[in-house]
Amino acid sequence: MMFSPWKDGRPTVVVGLMSGTSLDGIDAAIVHIKGSGLAASVELLHYYSKAYEPELRQRLRDLCVEANSNSALICNMNAFLGYQFGAAVLEAVADAGMHVDEVDLVSSHGQTIWHQPVPEQGDPYAVASTLQIGDISAIAKHTGKLVVGDFRPADMAVGGQGAPFAPYGDWILFRHPERGRLLQNIGGIGNCTALPAGADPSDVLAFDTGPGNMVIDAVAHILSGGRLLYDDGGNWAAQGKPDRVLLDEMLAHSYFGTPPPKSTGRELFGHSYAVSFLEQAKLRKLSDEDAMATATAFTAHSIADSYENYVFPRHGIDEVIVTGGGAHNKTLLSMLGELLPGQKVMTSRTLGFDDDAKEAVIFALLGNDFMLGVPNNLPAATGAFRPTVMGKLALP
């Protein structure tokens, strides 16, 4: 089913919204899209980011922890975030010097508060499931625009893990006829997309590598007594030295030995994990600087080890392109470069693409394809047994 203005095939302007596992705020990408699917051409018109205030960030963090959450809190925050997302759309449009009438569609990822791709054992009512909040009806009514959202459940319904979704956009935006590329997004969780030179969709290999900024941010927050939300530029970690014994123990986590397709989230590497890590760091009498360095090295090594185990045996890779908040962590990038001497490690900004905007752009693509009835999952990445159209529509 198609909706006007998609009936006449003209290019569209879509606002893609992304709020990731870092819980740091809302990213909005205003994107001009011509065509659809793997043949789409994309122009980023404007990128806007709106940080969450500390109390809202903490409330969202609490919703991701079973002991701190309940149905009433989730219900309330689902509506509240919907209006926040709607406001972010209007602010992004104004910031771009545009009028909302120039926008054809809003496409929202929502805020993940629970992601369970593998059901709990022993519970007959447990199935693969995921929950993103931020009511799309609230966004639609607040902006007066068609809104597409809630993408992940459709992939799960056809046997996928509902993640990662970035590979679909990575293939469209970054494939190269001669160079093998590995796209590494480092948000709260890290996810990678391997694109061999001249890749077809069936050649794409993608999966969550494990923690991105999630453990680093939590450690910085705890060690600073709540003053810091992250290690700015990796400067704190740069003053310390990773503890190899503790690092090896962390890398022995069962997630890293699981072959793709696979995905993870705050359920494995959230606040509880960071608290446990700091308890071990204290037992080993690590300084705060060494604890930060170890947490940062954990992300770097988990990424590089994932490549060595699952990517390099299958594909030749020339370039590693880092996006997301982790692209601003110089210590993390330096560690990755040292661990990957055979590849050129760079950020997407080197290629003229905003490091922070990528995932919001990808959700603009997903929304556009939904409107055209084009399958917008990538089974090779999610493990789904067939392509499907993902998303749900809310009318203004």
What is the Cα gyration radius of the chain? Answer: 20
Give the SS3 label for residue 45. strand
Cβ contacts of 162 within 8 Å, gap of 6 or more: 115, 117, 128, 130, 152, 153, 155, 156, 263, 382
Q: ∠ at Cα 180 (38, 337), nearest 5°?
A: 125
Cβ contacts of 39 within 8 Å, gap of 6 or more: none
Best CA proximity match to 290, nearest among 345, 334, 336, 331: 331
What is the C-alpha separation between 75 and 377, in angstroms, rounded?
28
Side chain identity at residue 336, one-letter code: L
Do the annotations mark residue 25 as ligand-binding? yes
Do the annotations mark residue 4 as ligand-binding? no
Where does the chain show beta strands of DSSP type E? 12-19, 25-34, 41-51, 105-116, 129-133, 147-149, 181-186, 189-195, 205-211, 319-323, 344-347, 392-394
Q: Which residue has the tokens 């319904």?
A: 157
Do the annotations mark residue 27 as ligand-binding? yes
Do the annotations mark residue 208 as ligand-binding? no
Do the annotations mark residue 123 as ligand-binding? no
What is the C-alpha separation between 187 and 163, in angstroms, rounded?
14
Do the annotations mark residue 23 as ligand-binding? yes
Cβ contacts of 34 within 8 Å, gap of 6 or more: 11, 40, 41
- DSSP single-letter state for residue 53: P
Ramachandran assignment for 159, one of left (phi > 0), alpha (psi -120 to 50 degrees), beta (any other): left
Best CA proximity match to 361, nearest among 86, 203, 169, 215: 169
- DSSP single-letter state for residue 311: I
Entry field: residues in the chain? 396
DSSP string, 155-184: HHHTT--S---HHHHHHHHH--SS--EEEE
Binding site for ATP, by residue number, is 20-27
Binding site, by residue number, is 20-27
